[in-house]
Amino acid sequence: MAKDELDYGEGPSIIRPFLRRTFDAPLEAAPLAVDVPAAAPLAAAPGADVRAYLMTGGRTGAGAVKLEFESMLSLTERGRGTRSSLTFERRRIADACLEGAQSVAELAAKMHLALGVAQVVAGDMVGDGLLNVHQASANLADDIAMIKRLIQGVRAL
Amino acid sequence: MSEPFDPTAPEAVAPIPVKIVVAGGFGVGKTTFVGALSDITPLTTEAAMTTVANGIDDRGAVTTKTTTTVAMDFGRAAIDKSLVLYMFGTPGQDRFGFMWDDLISGALGAVVLADTRRIDDSFPALDYFESRHIPFIVALNRFDGKIFHSLDEVRSALAIDDSIPVVTTDARVRNEVKGTVLALLDVVLARAIARSESSVPA
């Protein structure tokens, strides 16, 4: 991976301090107090200082393009070209995809993002032509040849 | 809606993912199950969760669970050059329903992993998959090689249709997990064949 002046992944960075814990520490390292009063739902947001959906502009569900958790993402030429000008999550997702196609779930796990957040941000990036999606066709469940191939493959594992 | 797959593009090495879901109560062995077949150590993702679970997660084995996120573990197994199987392990309690629709979207089917000593932990998952017509099987995880009830007793306790396979498995043993996944894929295949036959004009 090319070292750019903005490295959001590791090391000293210019990340806004209130975001840093999300990026630098696994969630387990930042346990919430157990005895959060039930009447304080905001305090019970995902285990970090920043509420996850801040990154998605408050949206849940799908981004511009609906992705599955297992959808594989790869950088488009455009994504490759504009990578260094992307910000925050977009940049980190693009960087992660430099090494090869990644699923939404793997991106979420590696970046310590909630699944729904990765889904929305990456979906927007697909919509903006930065990422390609590789996912099974919607009628996979009726694709007998594909299912048979899968069965053979699992047998051979 | 997805970009057309262009095999000449440099990115074309991306395999097509297929997904199955492994559902079951806390501590039933979902992550072990996924890990047994996965090429990678299962990864953990979090989905935000509301405070509704506060005070509920008090089952003895999981008293250290203090976060308010739902951990969902997953693994993957490369099937061939262009196909990769994703396995998502998900908590089976009904309070996680908020993310199940997302999780199950595009899934081929589900394995409901059950512990015969806490069989009711699997009820929400059964209800869910039945109501969504998702192909699924029930797999009883043998803890220390023991099953505490006969398969018939379990089937009767679960009140599931005779067409739903109930198998035993050992989540720690790769071959057993493989057999369980194959049992699910047989159901998936049988359904696909039945549908294709019923859609052919007589």
**Residues B52-102: pLDDT tens digits?**
444 444 444 444 444 445 778 999 999 998 899 999 998 755 555 667 888
* Nearest residue on chain B to A32, alpha-carbon basis: B67
**Residues B23-44: pLDDT tens digits?**
988 888 999 999 999 999 999 8
Classify residue B9: in a domain, yes or no: no
Ranges A110-114, A149-153, B3-7, B68-72: which has the least confidence: B3-7
- Tell me how many domains chain B contains: 1
Statement: residue A1 has pLDDT above 70: no
Interchain proximity B18–A70, CB inside 8 Å? yes
Classify residue B159: in a domain, yes or no: yes
Classify residue B174: in a domain, yes or no: yes
pTM: 0.75
Classify residue B169: in a domain, yes or no: yes
Statement: residue A50 has pLDDT above 80: no
Instruction: Report the CATH number at residue B142.
Output: 3.40.50.300
Interchain proximity B2–A108, CB inside 8 Å? no
If you average pLDDT over residues B145-160, what whole number do you get? Answer: 85
Supply the ipTM of this predicted assembly.
Answer: 0.81
Distance of CA B186 to the CA centre of its chain: 15
Q: Which residues contact B110 (CB under 8 A, 6 or more apart)?
A: B20, B21, B22, B23, B104, B125, B129, B134, B135, B136, B137, B184
pLDDT for the residue numbered B54? 42
Statement: residue A26 has pLDDT above 70: no
What is residue B146's DSSP assignment? B
CB-based contact (8 Å) between A130 and chain B? no
Interchain proximity A149–B79, CB inside 8 Å? yes
The beta strands (E) that lie in chain A are given as 72-75, 102-103, 131-134
pLDDT for the residue numbered B2? 46
Q: For residue B173, what are the domain limits? A: 16-198
Tell which wins on pLDDT, B101 or A52.
Answer: B101
Classify residue B7: in a domain, yes or no: no
Interchain proximity B83–A68, CB inside 8 Å? no
